[in-house]
Amino acid sequence: MPDRIVQAPWLQHLLEAIYFVQWQLLQCLHRLGLVGTHDGQPAWPWRWRLSGENLLIDLGQARALLIGLGVLGMLALLLLAAWRWRRLRWPVALAAPLVLWATPWPAAHVLLVPAQASSFHQPAVPWSDQAIQAGAQHYAQHCVQCHGVRGDGHGPLAAQQRVWPPNFAGPLLWQRSDGDLFAHVRQGMVGRQGQPTMPGFAQQLSVPQTWQLLHYLRALAAGQVLRATGEWAQAVALPDMQLRCSAHNKTSVRDWQGQPLRWVVGTGQEVLPDPRVVTIWLPADEHNALQQLPPAVDCLVTSQQAARQTLALLLGQQALSATPELGQVQLLADRHGWLRARNGAGGSAWSEDDLICRTQPTAAPEGASAALAQDGLGRLLRLMDATPVRFVKGGRLH
């Protein structure tokens, strides 16, 4: 979560409004039959769109847009008043152009960016361990020769390209919207002079396969960032996985939305029961899948191979490896499904040092003195509740 979202809460609402207005406009045009579809979703009809991601980078331009919108709102009220009271009509009509001219509007090249027909597409495939592992196969077949096993752009054919492939461990995947990345994979990319810098893969990959590939790229990037820095600069959601739970109406991670989750990888029998969290167990080997759930465990992962490879990828322990070695590790996800903490020793002692996704509170957590008296896990749970994730992707808050 960018610090500026915490420092300037108004920016959060501005980014949400920019995305919401464009999204609703597209949906209305589609319902009216004025725009068609592209790859199964409403197609953005214009060559340009408003850029929330640029405003996130340039706070001064975002502030100028906010001022401009405020001026427009004020003029709209004055025009409404002038329509009712004739004496105001000429003064308002003369003043409005001058006020608009004097308003510090943001630069056009910052506010407007080139758009794709798919710029507002949403992933048609859920973020899950199965999708990520399918994406790994597509990456190995079509991408690894240029982008490298770790996504750092150092593949065997990288030096032969017109432009050196980007490093996915950087901010590239987090600054772009899902729809724009989708378009780049399917249509390819061109340089500033119009020369092709990456081929498109619309003929090799179906629409669902493209989304699977993008899911894998984000998981790969998250793991490489964590491996290099020890934390995630951007929040990472816990992928959906299939479960066998003591509660029969719970069959997947998604069913536990709204509750904090504790993932135990390795020996689940040594974990003490804790009513504050839902404990999900991923055994060290698949033979344990037939055993009865240990008393301290609420759910067992049934898609074990895909889950093990996905978690290893997110933790930066492997890339395109068929036999990841996770060892014993515990993970903590907050009520909204964001992975927040990792206990590498697999022990029961948690501390704030275990946070791998940090955020800053806008105010001191309530009951801070009571939290100090709790154990490490209790303090982490209170901290995560008090400092929710505000994740920005492509200028959109999630």
Identify whether residues 73 and 103 lie together within a single domain. yes
Confidence of residue 387 (pLDDT cuts 50, 70, 90): confident
Q: What is the pLDDT of residue 126?
A: 95
The Cα–Cα gap between 181 and 177 comes to 6
Check whether 118 has a pLDDT greater than 70.
Answer: yes
Over range 377-397, report the average pLDDT. 76
The answer as to whether 122 is a domain residue is: no
Confidence of residue 7 (pLDDT cuts 50, 70, 90): low
Kindly report which listed range (73-77, 145-149, 248-252) carries the lowest average pLDDT score. 73-77
Identify whether residues 244 and 222 lie together within a single domain. no
Q: Which of 46-55, 163-172, 191-200 has the highest mean pLDDT?
A: 46-55
Contact status, residue 234 vs residue 389, Cβ threshold 8 Å: no
Residues 103-117 pLDDT 10s: 888 999 999 999 999
Check whether 265 has a pLDDT greater than 90.
Answer: no
Check whether 364 has a pLDDT greater than 50.
Answer: no
Contact status, residue 356 vs residue 340, Cβ threshold 8 Å: yes
Q: Which of 56, 91, 114 is the last residue of a domain?
A: 114
Contact status, residue 219 vs residue 128, Cβ threshold 8 Å: no
Over range 23-37, report the average pLDDT. 96
* 288 CB-near residues (< 8 Å, 6+ apart): none
Check whether 133 has a pLDDT greater than 70.
Answer: yes
Q: How much of the chain exceeds pLDDT 90, in percent?
A: 41
CA angle in degrees (0–180, nearest 5) for 201-207-209: 75
Identify whether residues 279 and 201 lie together within a single domain. no
Place of tokens 């340009």: 48
Q: What is the pLDDT of residue 313?
A: 92
Q: What is the pLDDT of residue 368?
A: 44
The span from the first CA to the last CA of the chain, in angstroms, equals 10
Which H/E stretch holds residue 16?
helix 9-31
Q: What is the pLDDT of residue 270?
A: 67
Contact status, residue 241 vs residue 132, Cβ threshold 8 Å: no
Confidence of residue 341 (pLDDT cuts 50, 70, 90): very high
Q: What is the pLDDT of residue 288?
A: 52
The Cα–Cα gap between 232 and 224 comes to 9
Q: What is the pLDDT of residue 325?
A: 66
Check whether 44 has a pLDDT greater than 90.
Answer: yes
Identify whether residues 133 and 193 lie together within a single domain. yes
B/e letters for 226-249, b = 16+ CB within 10 Å, e = fewer, are beeeeebebbbbbbbbbbebeeee
Confidence of residue 42 (pLDDT cuts 50, 70, 90): very high
Confidence of residue 398 (pLDDT cuts 50, 70, 90): very low
Q: How much of the chain exceeds pLDDT 70, in percent?
A: 86
The answer as to whether 294 is a domain residue is: yes
Identify whether residues 392 and 267 lie together within a single domain. yes
**Token pair in block for residue 358:** 């940090």
Instruction: Indicate the number of domains in the chain.
Output: 3
Identify whether residues 175 and 213 lie together within a single domain. yes
Residues 277-309 pLDDT 10s: 999 998 876 655 556 777 888 999 998 889 989
Which H/E stretch holds residue 378?
helix 376-386
Over range 142-168, report the average pLDDT. 87
CATH classification at residue 214? 1.10.760.10
Q: Which of 229, 247, 265 is the last residue of a domain?
A: 229
Contact status, residue 349 vs residue 355, Cβ threshold 8 Å: no
Confidence of residue 36 (pLDDT cuts 50, 70, 90): very high
Check whether 119 has a pLDDT greater than 90.
Answer: yes
Identify whether residues 251 and 380 lie together within a single domain. yes
Identify whether residues 208 and 253 lie together within a single domain. no
Which H/E stretch holds residue 341?
strand 338-343
Confidence of residue 35 (pLDDT cuts 50, 70, 90): very high
The Cα–Cα gap between 36 and 21 comes to 19
Identify whether residues 52 and 196 lie together within a single domain. no
Identify whether residues 249 and 223 lie together within a single domain. no
Share the mean pLDDT of the chain: 84
Identify whether residues 314 and 260 lie together within a single domain. yes
Q: What is the model's pTM?
A: 0.87
Check whether 319 has a pLDDT greater than 60.
Answer: no
The answer as to whether 79 is a domain residue is: yes
Which H/E stretch holds residue 368?
helix 368-372
Check whether 131 has a pLDDT greater than 80.
Answer: yes
Q: Which of 229, 248, 270 is the last residue of a domain?
A: 229
The answer as to whether 42 is a domain residue is: no
> In terms of pLDDT, which residue wins out, 395 or 117?
117
Query: What domain range is 376 assigned to?
Result: 236-359+368-397
Identify whether residues 70 and 189 lie together within a single domain. no
Check whether 367 has a pLDDT greater than 70.
Answer: no
